[in-house]
Structure 1
């Protein structure tokens, strides 16, 4: 086809208007969250309602990393499959944000550029959030609005600690890439203001922790505000992934290794 005909043919194609593009982005966001953390938020609300119908939250327990099968080899298989398939929405987000010569990893800041600075920010954020989390949890338990949390209930096998670390990384990547990086990019394209995006990101983060009680909801909203604010300043999601992975690894592995020694698990 001659070049001038190809150009004319391209020009004749209908171009999507701004309203149609916004409708498409809105549908995309709803689908992504319906397949991932939005779905988790809905289940968390129902789970909380079920727990409240049973009695006071203070007398109930929530297990974060339970045994999935009573046979070790199948438990390991289910644990790894659970981690793998939980990350599929992240792959979808990277696919949707990339293409046409654009790197989704760079758009999100999901790279290890300036590794010392990235890890440094991650460690700093982890320390702030870690101390705050302990305070919010203690306060929630004292007020009776938080269930007792068991970060890890896996039996002791050679693969227990590696699986808990992978689980921590899974949560970090899934939450920070989707609830912070992806959500910020798409809501900005829809014309949302920065304060509205920060608040929405924080509330979404809190929603899928409601199954643990109202205390973790409040704590995760505060964490979400800090993390979303940090992202608005840096446009880098990787320090958030590092911080989240460190927090969860400390909680999961620390509980698994030290809990039985101090009489709170095993």
Structure 2
């Protein structure tokens, strides 16, 4: 039962029953397995991508990465593969929620991923998106100017009619994946180990930064700060829903608004043009 005046998702480690050695071992394995098949796996590949970029002969600021690349040259199959990728990513989110489930207690309600307070969650989510979005945009521009952030191509410039719905779904997938796992799941599990709240916040934020390392040093810093803010908000509000709303809104604006941003600020957002190879001279007879 939730103590009076305490948000649903907020728990003191002292109020949790101590883990038996068996439970501690099982939860340790569970956390590592969950990370290995979800955000932890992505974080490892992301860090390796950054290392590879740093070792490349081209400076980091002159490289680029694509967030929502096409999955097939044919439009129909690209849509099919994009939808399948979103579905299977959300299936991993469902797996994590299932692991959080307890008899007689809804995991969604416990982490605050329900619609019981949607009006307040929506207002908080919009406010949080504004607080994070504007400084995040400035940090990206500063990173580009300093050459420590790659050009992030957030969406195709030649958008078709189905592109925007797919981008919105991709934004929702990112919001659910990161906030449910980085915040809802890790906070619940690490609290059970008796971790201090700020140790959990910093660990989660560090993992979030590693998850976005493929975008460069600036993205690591920005996402660590975002992770600290989101972790503090979850500690205060006890609900994941405002964080999912904020994250989804940030990504929708970034993905859908990218072509406009690339047109208005080509030096910051536009893809780096691929040099056209010079024609091979035809040998004379």
Q: Normalising by structure 1, report the TM-score.
A: 0.90
Alignment partner of 1:153 is 2:160: no
Q: Paired residue for 1:110, among 108, 113, 120?
A: 113
User: Given the alignment of the two structures, is residue 47 of structure 1 paired with residue 39 of structure 2, yes or no?
Assistant: no
User: What's the counterpart of residue 166 of structure 1?
Assistant: 169
Aligned to 2:219: 216
1:1-266 aligned within 5 A: 18-54=20-56, 55-153=58-156, 155-256=158-259, 259=262, 264=270
What is the rounded CA distance, in whole Å, between the counterparts of 2:55 and 2:94 in structure 1? Answer: 37
Please say if residues 64 and 150 of structure 1, whose CA atoms lie closer than 8 Å, have aligned partners that are also in contact.
yes
Q: Is the 8 A contact 1:133 1:219 kept in 2?
A: yes
How far the C-alpha of 1:23 sits from its partner, in A, is 1.2
Deviating more after overlay: 111-120 vs 187-196: 111-120
User: Does the residue aligned with 1:149 lie in a helix, a strand or coil?
Assistant: strand
| Partner-residue secondary structure (3-state), 1:86 | helix
Unaligned regions of 5+ residues in structure 1, if any?
1-15
Q: Give unpaired runs (5+ residues) of structure 2.
A: 1-17, 272-285
**Separation of aligned partners in 2, 1:107 and 1:25:** 18
> What residue is the counterpart of 2:279 in the other structure?
none
Partners of 1:243 and 1:262 in 2: CA distance? 24
Q: 1:29, CA displacement in angstroms? A: 0.7
**Distance of 1:143 and 1:262 partners within structure 2:** 16
Of stretches 54-63 and 208-217 in structure 1, the one that deviates more from structure 2 is 54-63
Higher helix share: 1
Measure how far apart 1:135 and its partner are.
1.4
Residue in 2 aligned with 1:9?
A: none
Question: What is the alpha-carbon distance in structure 1 between the residues aligned to residue 72 and residue 150 of structure 2?
Answer: 24
8 A contact 2:19–2:193 mirrored in 1: no
Using the TM superposition, give the Cα deviation of residue 247 of structure 1 relative to its aligned residue in structure 2, in angstroms.
0.2
- What is the alpha-carbon distance in structure 2 between the residues aligned to residue 136 and residue 262 of structure 1? 15
TM-score (norm 2): 0.84
Deviations 1:26-59 (A, max 9, x none): 1101111101000000000111111111131100
Whether the aligned pair in 1 keeps the contact of 2:19 and 2:192 (CA below 8 Å) is no
Q: Is the 8 A contact 1:109 1:238 kept in 2?
A: yes
